[in-house]
């Protein structure tokens, strides 16, 4: 189908374009921006005047709960929720059930996505050790050939530093991106809240900063040792931002992301045991939040992810320490991104970059740009509205938001994935 | 902190009893005064008043307890309530029933008041958020968060011996980090305008930012005990030895154990308290525990009157069914 998007404000961070113009789509691809190509007759014209035309967002950390936890959500429910909320590509971590540690699971996931209508591109992050056991290397090359865009041990520990070193070395040799969530399991010690004044008052088992920073320091040293291109996910501490900044200065092949909720919420927001604010890593201090925002605006942190974790109601209907961690975040990712712009963290183009061109470059994904010859993953956004966040209206199967009642302005009015309008 | 007002009715009466935090001096004083009036009941030969006649109280203990559970039972009985005590470790929770389902099933049995002890911090709040209107929740200890009736019986004991709090110096000694009792005591002492609250412990048994609770922190027992009016010893849980929190029991006793010599550092009329169960020879020497400055057994007795006071105040508020 030929789609002509008319007179929207096109923002394409990769080429630093920010202008009111037209976009022309033919089938799966963008064939032109600006002037209409000779002989182009549109099947459909979308009037985008007074709206923004952006590359579809790329979420590099999103749990769709399939396979294994379809009581919470499914590929069908979450790809639809993602697309209609402006997210056209999802990277899903390997800790599904069964674990994504062989090509059959990768194929199964893509098959499920196809059955659900391919509303969103799904990219798998494979397990770097078999069954995420931290002990035996997975068939990394096979996983890469099956389509995995990176490998990770998710939140599971390596048995020891030697296994981690070998895993990173092997991945580096195969030219595979390694994704690490820095996490020292012994220091984490079944904690559920940041080690700060709030946890002291509420008597909550704590997670110290060192649970992240001690692990990150070791991980960075292993990057220096092995040369493995490594992406650090869901950082939560001010000191982590400093370490990544220094590692980049030292020329190490590292990149990093932060979960959207860490840019808005801190431990105090847990108030009296609000289990919707239970996350791993935990919500940290005001100072950490400020440093994460600073890291984002100065380029130390390359991407923002949703860290979407949809839950059924029962998962959160428990006392705080027993509730399941995570926030349903697909429905709030884009409006919160615009809130960051409103709060002056960065300009619109830089903001969009953190969720489009940057993650596409790091994970080598064929998306994230609006330019001739690129895949037509495009969203149209109205950012002049005003509405209140209400989980009752969420498209995700998970209603476990931490932003109930927040005032938002941006909403997606149209999504195209590979030239198909998603409804 | 609006959500903690969960324990108060719109006109500021006690509806649930979840934590000391969020309660003002007037309410705490009211509890102490009411408890005072009940001490005469417990001293009588017929130890019953009809305040809770026709009401059913359910004791839900997901964790072991001796004196808290027994004194809650006695308190309810002396107020003429029907009482149902459930040892959850041998009931449906073990079979996988969720906490919320357990609650709803008991509610279906027309329970008016739940007394709950649970290993998760925040569990009493969780219960109070989900009970039907008119049903009350009393926290008998939630994780490391709060144990408000214990704190109030401790305040009652202090007031009986020292009359006022304003000029007192109170030292709490031992495992503050894992202690819901200490957290509640600190809140209560501060609400009652206690002159000075000290905590004395090795760093591994103190939470981060302890001073934000409104206390002075000491790591040296001799220094911390100097001229205090009240010494509250906390129980040292033996499992703390395994987590590399402490080197050994002997080392702990030498550094933080209360001996007759150390008692002499406090004021001559200082009282010695302990919420129990005590480990003789680890945090406290037997001769101190049984000595004439010890009020440890009085604490247990007063526990009944204080729990009667809290139950009767909750039963008398207008939203109670």
B206 to chain A, closest Cα gap in Å: 9
Q: Is residue B95 scored above 80 in pLDDT?
A: no
B129-173, pLDDT tens digit by residue? 999 999 999 999 999 999 999 999 999 999 999 999 999 999 999
A141-181, pLDDT tens digit by residue? 999 999 999 999 999 999 999 999 999 999 999 999 999 99
Residues B120, A320: C-beta atoms closer than 8 Å:
yes
Q: What is the pLDDT of residue B88?
A: 75
Cβ-based contacts of A199 with chain B (< 8 Å): 207-208
Q: What is the pLDDT of residue A67?
A: 96
Chain A contact for B69, CB < 8 A?
Answer: no
Q: How confident is the model at residue B98 (pLDDT cuts 50, 70, 90)?
A: confident
Residues B145, A206: C-beta atoms closer than 8 Å:
no
Cβ-based contacts of A206 with chain B (< 8 Å): 207-208
Q: Is residue B4 scored above 80 in pLDDT?
A: no
3-state DSSP assignment of residue B318: coil
DSSP for A328-375, please give it: --TTTHHHHHHHHHHTTSS-HHHHHHHTTHHHHHHHT-S-S--STTSB
Q: With contact defined as beta carbons under 8 Å apart, do A171 and A151 qualify?
A: yes
Instruction: Output B40 or B145, whichever has higher pLDDT.
Output: B145
> What integer is the mean pLDDT of B175-200?
97
> What integer is the mean pLDDT of A54-66?
98
Q: What is the pLDDT of residue B240?
A: 66
Residues A203, B212: C-beta atoms closer than 8 Å:
no
A380-407, pLDDT tens digit by residue? 999 999 999 999 999 999 999 999 999 9
Q: Tell me which residues of chain B, numbers 187 to 226, contact chain A at a CB-CB cutoff of 8 Å.
A: 207-210, 212-213
Residues A203, B145: C-beta atoms closer than 8 Å:
yes
Q: In chain B, which residue's Cα lies nearest the Cα of A207?
A: B208
Q: Is residue B86 scored above 80 in pLDDT?
A: yes
Q: What is the pLDDT of residue B91?
A: 63
Q: How confident is the model at residue B99 (pLDDT cuts 50, 70, 90)?
A: confident
Q: With contact defined as beta carbons under 8 Å apart, do A225 and A296 qualify?
A: no
Q: What is the pLDDT of residue A100?
A: 97
Range list of β-strands (E), A291-423: 303-305, 378-382, 387-388, 407-408, 411-417, 420-421
Distance CA B103, CA B113 (A): 11
A127 to chain B, closest Cα gap in Å: 31
> What integer is the mean pLDDT of A319-332?
97
Q: What is the pLDDT of residue A159?
A: 97
B100, B118, B145: residue with CB nearest A202: B145
Q: With contact defined as beta carbons under 8 Å apart, do A152 and A231 qualify?
A: no
Q: What is the pLDDT of residue B102?
A: 86
Q: Is residue B63 scored above 90 in pLDDT?
A: no
3-state DSSP assignment of residue A125: strand
* Sign of the dihedral through C-alpha B180, B182, B187, B191: positive
| Nearest of A175, A176, A259, A252 to residue A212 by alpha carbon | A259
Q: Is residue B3 scored above 60 in pLDDT?
A: no
| Nearest of A125, A213, A211, A220 to residue A164 by alpha carbon | A220
Q: In chain A, which residue's Cα lies nearest the Cα of B98?
A: A318
Residues A200, B1: C-beta atoms closer than 8 Å:
no
Q: How confident is the model at residue B66 (pLDDT cuts 50, 70, 90)?
A: confident
Cβ-proximal residues to A321 (8 Å cutoff; 6+ apart), any chain:
A192, A204, A205, B120, B121, B122, B143
Q: Class of the B2-146+303-316 domain?
A: alpha beta
Question: Crossing angle of helices B148-162/B296-316, nearest 10°?
Answer: 120
Distance CA B228, CA B168 (A): 7
3-state DSSP assignment of residue A273: coil
What is the DSSP secondary structure assignment for residue A36, as one 8-state letter? P
Q: What is the pLDDT of residue B238?
A: 73
Residues A205, B144: C-beta atoms closer than 8 Å:
yes
Residues in chain A: 423
Cβ-based contacts of B3 with chain A (< 8 Å): 271-272, 274
Cβ-based contacts of B207 with chain A (< 8 Å): 199-200, 206
Tell how strand B196-200 and strand A193-194 pair up.
unpaired
Q: In chain B, which residue's Cα lies nearest the Cα of A193?
A: B121
Q: What is the pLDDT of residue B262?
A: 97
| Nearest of B35, B107, B22 to residue B71 by alpha carbon | B35
> What integer is the mean pLDDT of A14-29?
97
A275-300, pLDDT tens digit by residue? 999 999 999 999 999 999 999 999 99
Q: How confident is the model at residue B94 (pLDDT cuts 50, 70, 90)?
A: low
Cβ-based contacts of B183 with chain A (< 8 Å): 201, 203
Distance CA B236, CA B181 (A): 12
A200, A205, A208: residue with CB nearest B210: A200
Q: What is the pLDDT of residue B64?
A: 83
Chain A contact for B184, CB < 8 A?
Answer: no
For residue A249, the surrounding DSSP H or E stretch is helix A238-249
Q: In chain A, which residue's Cα lies nearest the Cα of B210?
A: A200
Residues A319, B118: C-beta atoms closer than 8 Å:
yes
Q: In chain B, which residue's Cα lies nearest the Cα of A321?
A: B120
Q: Is residue B239 scored above 80 in pLDDT?
A: no
Residues A320, B126: C-beta atoms closer than 8 Å:
yes
B3, B145, B208: residue with CB nearest A271: B3
For residue A342, the surrounding DSSP H or E stretch is helix A333-342
Distance CA B72, CA B58 (A): 10
Q: With contact defined as beta carbons under 8 Å apart, do B313 and B9 qualify?
A: no
Distance CA A207, CA A221 (A): 23
Residues B3, A320: C-beta atoms closer than 8 Å:
no
User: Which residue segments constitute the domains of chain A, with CATH numbers given?
Assistant: 2-52+375-421 (2.30.40.10), 56-363 (3.20.20.140)
Q: What is the distance of C-alpha A76 from the center of its chain? A: 18
Q: Is residue B115 scored above 50 in pLDDT?
A: yes
Q: How confident is the model at residue B92 (pLDDT cuts 50, 70, 90)?
A: low
Cβ-proximal residues to A61 (8 Å cutoff; 6+ apart), any chain:
A91, A93, A233, A234, A257, A259, A305, A306, A307, A308
Architecture of the domain made up of B148-300: 3-Layer(aba) Sandwich (3.40)
Mean pLDDT of chain B: 92
Identify from A187, A200, A268 which residue to disrupt to test chain B contact, counting B C-beta atoms within 10 A and taking the largest count: A200
Q: With contact defined as beta carbons under 8 Å apart, do B78 and B49 qualify?
A: yes
ipTM of this predicted structure: 0.92
Identify from A191, A273, A274 which residue to disrupt to test chain B contact, counting B C-beta atoms within 10 A and taking the largest count: A273
Q: In chain A, which residue's Cα lies nearest the Cα of B179?
A: A203
3-state helix, strand, coil in chain A (%, to 5): 35, 25, 45
List every span in chain B annotated with CATH 3.40.50.1370: 2-146+303-316, 148-300
B125, B207, B213: residue with CB nearest A272: B125
Q: What percent of chain B has pLDDT over 70?
A: 95
B187 to chain A, closest Cα gap in Å: 10
Range list of β-strands (E), A263-334: 303-305
Residues A273, B118: C-beta atoms closer than 8 Å:
no
Residues A321, B142: C-beta atoms closer than 8 Å:
no
Cβ-based contacts of B21 with chain A (< 8 Å): 201
| Nearest of A295, A283, A276, A304 to residue A404 by alpha carbon | A276
Cβ-proximal residues to A208 (8 Å cutoff; 6+ apart), any chain:
A187, A191, A195, B208
| Nearest of A417, A410, A384, A378 to residue A5 by alpha carbon | A378
Distance CA B295, CA B273 (A): 6
Residues A204, B146: C-beta atoms closer than 8 Å:
no
B20 to chain A, closest Cα gap in Å: 11
Omega cis (within 30) before B317: no
Residues B212, A199: C-beta atoms closer than 8 Å:
no
Distance CA B100, CA B126 (A): 9
- Number of Cβ within 10 Å of residue A343's Cβ equals 11
Q: How confident is the model at residue B93 (pLDDT cuts 50, 70, 90)?
A: low
Q: What is the pLDDT of residue B144?
A: 94
Q: Is residue B1 scored above 60 in pLDDT?
A: no
What are the catalytic residues of A?
A: 307
A201, A206, A321: residue with CB nearest B120: A321
Q: In chain A, which residue's Cα lies nearest the Cα of B186?
A: A201
Q: What percent of chain A has pLDDT over 90?
A: 100
- Number of Cβ within 10 Å of residue B87's Cβ equals 13
Distance CA A4, CA A44 (A): 6
């Amino acid at each position: 189908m030929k789609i002509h998007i008319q007179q929207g404000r096109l923002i394409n961070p990769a080429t630093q374009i920010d202008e009111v113009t037209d976009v022309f789509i033919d089938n799966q691809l963008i064939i032109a921006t600006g002037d209409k190509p000779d002989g182009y007759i549109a099947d459909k014209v979308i009037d985008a005047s007074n709206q923004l035309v952006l590359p579809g967002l790329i979420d590099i950390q999103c749990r769709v709960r399939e396979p294994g936890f379809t009581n919470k959500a499914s590929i069908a429910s979450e790809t639809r929720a993602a697309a209609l909320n402006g997210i056209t590509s999802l990277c899903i971590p390997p800790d599904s059930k069964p674990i994504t540690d062989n090509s059959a699971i990768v194929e199964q996931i893509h098959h499920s996505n196809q059955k659900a209508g391919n509303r969103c591109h799904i990219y798998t992050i494979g397990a770097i050790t078999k069954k995420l056991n931290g002990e035996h290397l997975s068939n990394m090359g096979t996983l890469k050939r099956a389509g995995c865009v990176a490998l990770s041990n998710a939140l599971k520990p390596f048995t020891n530093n030697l296994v981690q070193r070998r895993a990173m070395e092997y991945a580096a040799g195969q030219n595979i991106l390694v994704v690490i969530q820095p996490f020292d399991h012994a220091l984490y010690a079944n904690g559920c809240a940041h080690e700060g004044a709030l946890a002291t008052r509420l008597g909550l088992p704590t997670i110290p900063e060192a649970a992240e920073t001690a692990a990150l320091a070791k991980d960075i040293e292993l990057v220096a040792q092995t040369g493995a291109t490594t992406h650090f996910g869901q950082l939560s501490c001010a000191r982590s931002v400093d370490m990544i900044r220094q590692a980049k200065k030292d020329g190490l092949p590292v990149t990093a992301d932060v979960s959207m909720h860490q840019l808005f919420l801190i431990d105090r927001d847990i108030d009296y045991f609000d289990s919707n604010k239970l996350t791993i890593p935990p919500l940290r201090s005001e100072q950490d939040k400020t440093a994460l925002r600073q890291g984002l605006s100065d380029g130390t942190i390359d991407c923002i992810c949703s860290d979407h974790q949809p839950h059924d109601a029962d998962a959160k209907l428990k006392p705080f320490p027993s509730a399941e961690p995570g926030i349903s975040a697909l429905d709030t990712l884009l409006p919160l991104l615009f809130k960051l712009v409103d709060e002056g963290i960065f300009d619109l183009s830089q903001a969009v970059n953190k969720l489009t061109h940057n993650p596409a470059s790091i994970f080598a994904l064929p998306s994230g740009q609006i330019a001739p010859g690129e895949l037509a993953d495009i969203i149209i956004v109205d950012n002049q509205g005003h509405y209140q966040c209400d989980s009752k209206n969420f498209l995700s199967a998970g209603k476990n938001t931490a932003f109930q009642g927040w005032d938002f302005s941006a909403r997606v009015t149209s999504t195209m994935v590979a030239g198909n309008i998603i409804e | 902190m609006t959500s903690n007002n969960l324990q108060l009715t719109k006109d500021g009466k006690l509806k649930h009893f979840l934590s000391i935090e969020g309660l003002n001096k007037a309410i705490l004083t009211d509890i102490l005064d009411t408890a005072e009036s009940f001490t005469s009941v417990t001293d009588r030969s017929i130890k019953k008043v009809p305040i809770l006649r026709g009401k059913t109280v359910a004791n839900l203990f997901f964790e072991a307890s001796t004196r808290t559970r027994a004194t809650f039972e006695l308190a309810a009985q002396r107020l003429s309530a029907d009482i149902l005590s459930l040892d959850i470790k041998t009931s449906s929770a073990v079979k996988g029933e969720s906490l919320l389902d357990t609650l709803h099933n008991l509610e279906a049995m027309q329970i008016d008041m739940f007394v709950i002890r649970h290993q998760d911090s925040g569990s009493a709040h969780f219960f109070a958020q989900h009970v039907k209107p008119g049903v009350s929740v009393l926290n008998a200890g939630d994780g490391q968060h709060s144990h408000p009736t214990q704190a109030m019986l401790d305040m009652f004991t202090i007031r009986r011996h020292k009359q006022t709090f304003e000029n007192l110096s109170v030292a709490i000694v031992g495992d503050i980090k894992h202690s819901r009792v200490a957290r509640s005591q600190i809140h209560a002492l501060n609400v009652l305008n206690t002159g000075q609250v000290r905590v004395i412990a090795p760093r591994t048994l103190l939470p981060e930012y302890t001073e934000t609770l409104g206390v002075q922190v000491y790591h040296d027992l001799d220094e911390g005990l100097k001229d205090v009016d009240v010494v509250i010893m906390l129980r040292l849980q033996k499992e703390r030895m395994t987590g590399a929190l402490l080197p050994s029991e002997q080392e702990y006793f030498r550094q933080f154990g209360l001996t007759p010599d150390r008692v002499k550092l406090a004021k001559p009329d200082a009282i010695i308290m302990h919420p129990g169960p005590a480990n003789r020879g680890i945090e406290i020497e037997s001769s101190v525990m049984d000595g004439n400055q010890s009020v440890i057994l009085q604490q247990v007795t007063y526990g009944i009157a204080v729990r009667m006071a809290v139950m009767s105040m909750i039963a008398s508020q207008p939203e109670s069914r």
